[in-house]
Amino acid sequence: MDDTVDPDCVPNLIQVARLLDSVRRLPGRGPHVYAFFACMYYAGMRPAEVIHLRKVQCRLPSSGWGLLNLKGGIVTSGKEWTDDGSVHEIHSLKRRAAKATRPVPIPPVFVRILRDHIARFGVSADGRIFQNAAGNYIDTAAYCVTWGRAREATLALDEHALNLAKRPTTCAMPEFPSG
């Protein structure tokens, strides 16, 4: 499998900030998936990990840095490919042992984003931070449509021509001040 990312597709810090702000301002599901996309940007999470993230995996202090303890992801497989006939399966972290976890320090700005999201939208019955209106997993098509709308509203023609941030997972990681 080739995980190579074309550097021309990777937005810089200013472009990602503009895209996130655009998502937050979109009507409909925009405010709900703002923190979802922030997980990819601030914590380098894959969409499957974001969908699986539970409140118990988060240390979100009232000030300072926090920590996410990632434990796997939700993968959409299709009913015919799962043992129990469900559409989704929980998988271990990519390229890690089945029980492995991945601790991810998160900066204060992202701690606030997650705290605000939980305060505004709550968590699902099983503790997941991100859910659709029915309390189920967020659908890939739904968040991709929202990301596409944010790209259309935010990026210039030359940025579109480069396929800049065509997928939300090709975001630049922020640089945080030391200390």
**CATH code assigned at 95:** 1.10.443.10
> What's the number of domains the chain is made of?
1
Identify the pLDDT of residue 166: 79
Write down the pTM of the prediction. 0.77
The reported pLDDT for the residue numbered 115 is 98
**From first to last of its 179 residues, what are the pLDDT tens digits of the chain?**
455 667 778 888 888 899 999 999 999 889 999 999 999 989 888 888 898 899 999 999 999 999 999 886 555 555 555 565 555 455 544 555 556 678 999 999 999 999 999 999 999 999 999 998 888 888 888 888 899 999 999 998 888 888 888 777 645 444 444 44
Q: Tell whether 32 is covered by a domain.
A: yes
pLDDT at 99: 62
Any domain includes 67: yes
Query: Which domain covers residue 124, as residue numbers?
Result: 8-161
- Indicate whether 3 belongs to any domain: no
- C-alpha to C-alpha distance for 175 and 20, rounded to whole angstroms: 16
Domain assignment of residue 48, yes or no: yes
CA-CA distances (angstroms) from residue 95 to 1, 74, 75, 100?
Answer: 12, 15, 14, 10
Residue among 18, 45, 50 at smallest CA distance from 117? 50
Q: Is residue 102 part of a domain?
A: yes
